[in-house]
Structure 1
């Protein structure tokens, strides 16, 4: 019979049954110090009505006894769990994995925990988020819808739990009660990226990243919004609509294949605005394979400022949507909702900036 992985060392090889360590209770912490359970609770919940000396004694006892509050007990005591569900399309993409880490970091600063929920299974899985899953998970939800229609969200009278939507797939009006929306102006960001290449003197600038899939046809999809910003900058410069190169996916592989096609069909290209940094990494690799100098012959710019962007060859110029600021804003709004705020839906715009590096300096 395999050993119980959490059995105490004294039980191993002792001939008796293994015993799981018993969880220390809040009462035991209080009795050790000769204070009330309410005092320990006040320290755990960071309430101000505890003196500094008492607070330090309680915190020391918690550390020594290795006390860990139980979620169920906390929920009965305070009505909350300290858990927030982050529902995002996938963890496979670089941007979403970094975004999840940003939320985890910001939640920890607020003494909360993030519970990840992938909606990669599709529309039905996203719909389950809006209907509260099969059961309520955590105190509130951060939700990045990708495949459900805007009409589905607009048709809700109220979200099941306090909810903050993120992403670009919603109208700013018609949000359901109990929710807020934090977005980045992707169209303006792509316009700034395109204008940067034009200001460098590039005259044959291409947008590489149009998706030929159903999701991309939504008016407020990321792909469509960034393409719209590209068209605006090109038109403003008097260059017509500009060349658009489609891709099968927003991945490094997608960028590699697309740039090979692009340079074969449009060898005059001297600037490329990529839908995201993963595409741009593939573009840089493809151009290098074709013997095309970056940025001497072709300038390249991405979007998302992922961790690998400064380490490409050459380092990638990109739009930084400030994932940490986005997460902080979202959690501030959501925690207000969890705390009882029930005002009308709020729409907040998160910041972005252009980060200039070697690929388009």
Structure 2
């Protein structure tokens, strides 16, 4: 049997003919332009709903030069932080009457290269890009991004930013320093950093792993009585934290405070400590990083660093929209705030 033809999508012409108005009038309503009377606007909006009209992005881009779409290229949607960050971008974009198109670069270095090369085809009006594996030399050699681009995260050297781009970041070294200093103020003196990675990504000078580890070591300077160890992990995940804390407890049972690279690792550490019968925070304090939605609901509630994902998203989008609108001055670098959130997992040592 031959399949029935797919129903044709409604067009602006269909709406115009139905109401006896011009296509220009319908276009003005669709694009929220002011030169339409309130009664006519209401009639057009009602017809749009009844006919289930959806503007076609390609046609809009040809007509106006913009699509209303922004690509958010992030390493993965599997990690809790990145999924929450994507939601923050979607919410902020909606406030600006834009839509976010997600692109995962989990396939690795070549996929990140394709983002810088403008993909196979240009997607949307601009890109917010969180690189992990591209080398800083590539950015320096790039000269100029194909599309307006805002970099977020780390792995970017400020001096090597290509033209047509900006950079929004949180001071991860200082944040990890503050997390470690918090445990020191609580009387902890046998500290471990749980989160060192062995991957190529981690070897880069500006990787998240290295920056946060650097902040950990920096906070310990001057505390001669403090002792520290670094525990490697396979991945920054709940499973990675659980496996790593088991090894840590076997090799360093004296540890009384653990600074974790992110909250997923910290959640895994809490599970491992509980399974070993170790009281948190009575014997061991634990602090994470990212302030994910689950952090207040762990047992005990997890102290953490809040990187203010919404401010990061809002700042990055504002800079990108300025680029899309024609701003073409040298790259800008903006540091967004973070905060230390104290919860039950880091009470003072008794």
Using the size of structure 2 for normalisation, the TM-score is: 0.93
Which residue in 2 is equivalent to 1:301? 287
Does the CA contact (< 8 Å) of 1:82 and 1:139 recur in 2? yes
Q: 1:34 to 1:113 in 2, by over 3 A?
A: same
Runs of 4+ deviating beyond 6 Å: none
1:357 aligns with 2:343: yes
Question: Displacement, 1:107?
Answer: 2.0
| Residue correspondence of structure 1 range 80-99 to structure 2 within 5 A | 80-99=66-85
Question: Displacement, 1:241?
Answer: 7.2
1:234 aligns with 2:226: no
* CA distance in 2 between partners of 1:62 and 1:341 (Å): 35
Which residue in 1 is equivalent to 2:271? 285
Does the CA contact (< 8 Å) of 2:202 and 2:208 recur in 1? yes
**CA distances 1:10-69 after superposition (whole Å, capped 9, x unpaired):** xxxxxx962322222112323444443333323322333444444333323322222111
Q: 1:360 to 1:75 in 2, by over 3 A?
A: same
Question: Displacement, 1:134?
Answer: 1.4
Which residue in 2 is equivalent to 1:125? 111
Question: Displacement, 1:88?
Answer: 1.2
Match of 2:331 among 345, 352, 355: 345
Q: How many residues align?
A: 347
Does the CA contact (< 8 Å) of 1:231 and 1:241 recur in 2? no
Structure 1, 141-150 or 345-354: larger mean CA deviation: 345-354
Q: 1:172 to 1:50 in 2, by over 3 A?
A: farther
Structure 1, 70-79 or 28-37: larger mean CA deviation: 28-37
1:72 aligns with 2:54: no
**CA distances 1:144-201 after superposition (whole Å, capped 9, x unpaired):** 1101111111211110111111111101122111111111111111111111111111
**CA distances 1:116-159 after superposition (whole Å, capped 9, x unpaired):** 21111111111111111111111111111101111111211110
Q: 1:275 to 1:83 in 2, by over 3 A?
A: same
Question: Displacement, 1:246?
Answer: 1.3
Match of 2:317 among 302, 324, 331: 331
1:272 aligns with 2:264: no
* CA distance in 2 between partners of 1:285 and 1:219 (Å): 31
1:163 aligns with 2:149: yes
* CA distance in 1 between partners of 2:227 and 2:328 (Å): 45
* CA distance in 2 between partners of 1:211 and 1:25 (Å): 53
1:179 aligns with 2:177: no
Which residue in 1 is equivalent to 2:11? 25
Which residue in 2 is equivalent to 1:9? none
Does the CA contact (< 8 Å) of 1:255 and 1:282 recur in 2? yes
Contiguous gaps of at least 5 residues in structure 1: 2-15
Which residue in 2 is equivalent to 1:247? 233
Which residue in 2 is equivalent to 1:135? 121
**CA distances 1:237-290 after superposition (whole Å, capped 9, x unpaired):** 445673211112111111112111212222221111000011101100111111
Contiguous gaps of at least 5 residues in structure 2: none
Question: Displacement, 1:208?
Answer: 0.9
Using the size of structure 1 for normalisation, the TM-score is: 0.91
* CA distance in 1 between partners of 2:269 and 2:178 (Å): 20
Does the CA contact (< 8 Å) of 2:164 and 2:331 recur in 1? yes
1:317 aligns with 2:310: no
* CA distance in 1 between partners of 2:225 and 2:197 (Å): 23
